[in-house]
A and B are shown apart, each in its own frame.
Chain A
Amino acid sequence: MPQISITVNGKVRKARVEPRLLLVHFLREQLLLTGTHVGCDTSQCGACTVLIDGRSAKSCTIFAVQASGSKVTTIEGLATDGALHPLQEGFWEEHGLQCGYCTPGMILSAVNLLKDTPRPTERQIREGIAGNFCRCTGYQHIVNAIQHAAKKGLPKRAKRARRTPKAAASAATGGR
């Protein structure tokens, strides 16, 4: 099995993997970064979106071996030094999520969008998330959330507006 080395959320992760192991399964099952989700098997829904070398990509359509040597950012790596990313903040402020399943991928697509187009029109926002399906929100509050973040601007690492809230312990789990 080939050895791979991927920098995930700033940390070098080395592993021996089956070549057919999908990047999303590597992240979820070997690194236990379960914030990246799988929603389809035809590269359409975008729930598995991560950033590879700074650009959004569907981690269900990439073998982990292909990403060796790359830098990958997942939703878990987006907040910096305890501060929510402006997009995370925007999604919270503007009710940009309901069930939350598409949210990590949606947020990472929005990161890609704002990097390319810091002050997008509503049309550009809608096109920028056209590779991400949301079944709950009708997208309107997602658009608002991205507008909210665009207004604030992407972080220069110095902005530390808010402490990261602790993830509320889910009463309904217990598996892990």
Chain B
Amino acid sequence: MISSSFDYARATSLDDAIKRLGAAGGAAKLVAGGHSLVPLMKLRLSEPQALIDIARIKALSNISELDGHIEIGATAVHHAVATSKLLRRQCPGVADAAGEIGDPQVRNRGTLGGSLAHADPAADYPAVMLAVDAEIHLKGPKGWRMVRADGFFQGLFTVDLAPDEIIAGVRFAPAPVSAYAKLRQRASHYAIVGVAAALQVNDGTIQSARVGLTGAGAHAVRLSSVERALAGQPLTDAVIASAAGHAGAEVTHLNADIHASEDYRRAMIPVFTRRALEGAMRRA
């Protein structure tokens, strides 16, 4: 498999990348790890006229805590996220999800920003971004823009990102009581169903819950009815089981393929919702 021809340039800074992206007038694509884009280019399903490489913009790969919030740069690779001590402590669900992506080599190259921009319906990250209520920080020629994960994933491979904008990073509050659980498609290791859960727990009571679902439909969504069923309840197995029991009932369109029918996917949503919640509970 060999890609079509294209021009290549390396951006020296975020602003340089934005300038180049603008100059290309929609014909260029950004590349960092390339693990979403390069396979598509090799299949010639994506044929950009130019690639702008942002992998070496240092500031974009940081994982840090600032003013009580966690920030992950767009070019942070999955391996860095999965093994970050900060994230393991403050947002283990995010690290879990990163560690479930692909395989070791993919995790060494693939990036958070690439995964979010590509928005594969079976990608792992979108579910946790919903669960931690991440702000996705974008920059374009007109400056910065912030979108909440909730509004970012809009459809199949479709996100709220203009062609001249770049994902610079994500920001979210610590979510130490969080986890990710996934049913793997056994060939690709993508998610047939993946559920991320983040709980705010005070004195054994769930103050609030956020649950993100990936793999099941055209794009990742929140499981609001599960969230509502948990809020204000004591954190117990019974509460979790009950809240998870009807998870996904509101999801109208479910994917179906040779690996999992619509029925099976639907049935797996409560199972993995419960498993994600149980995983989170173990961290409370």
Contacts and interface: CB of A to CB of B under 8 A. Distances in A.
B57 to A, nearest CB: 13
Nearest to A67: B55
Contacts of A57: 105, 108-109
Contact of A56 (B39, B51, B83, B105): B105
A69 B56 contact: yes
A18 B5 contact: yes
A113 interface: yes
A139 B100 CA distance: 21
Contact of B42 (A41, A65, A127): A41
B108 A61 contact: no
Nearest to B5: A20
Nearest to B53: A66
Mostly helix, strand, loop or mixed at chain A's interface? Answer: mixed
Interface in A85-112: 109, 112
A131 B5 contact: no
Contacts of B66: none
Contacts of A116: 83
Contacts of B102: 43, 131
A131 B106 contact: yes
A112 to B, nearest CB: 6
Interface residues of B, number: 30
A161 interface: no
A61 B53 contact: no
A12 to B, nearest CB: 18
A3 to B, nearest CB: 11
B91 to A, nearest CB: 21
B103 A46 contact: yes
B238 interface: no
B3 A56 contact: no
Given A19-B7, A20-B5, A62-B38, 7 more contacts: A56-B105, A58-B109, A60-B42, A66-B34, A66-B53, A109-B104, A132-B103
Interface of B: 1-8, 31, 34-35, 38-39, 41-43, 51, 53, 55-56, 79, 83, 102-106, 108-109, 188
10 contacts: A19-B8, A41-B43, A52-B108, A55-B108, A56-B105, A61-B39, A61-B42, A116-B83, A127-B104, A131-B104
Interface of A: 2, 18-20, 22, 41-44, 46, 49, 52, 55-58, 60-63, 65-66, 69, 109, 112-113, 116, 127-132
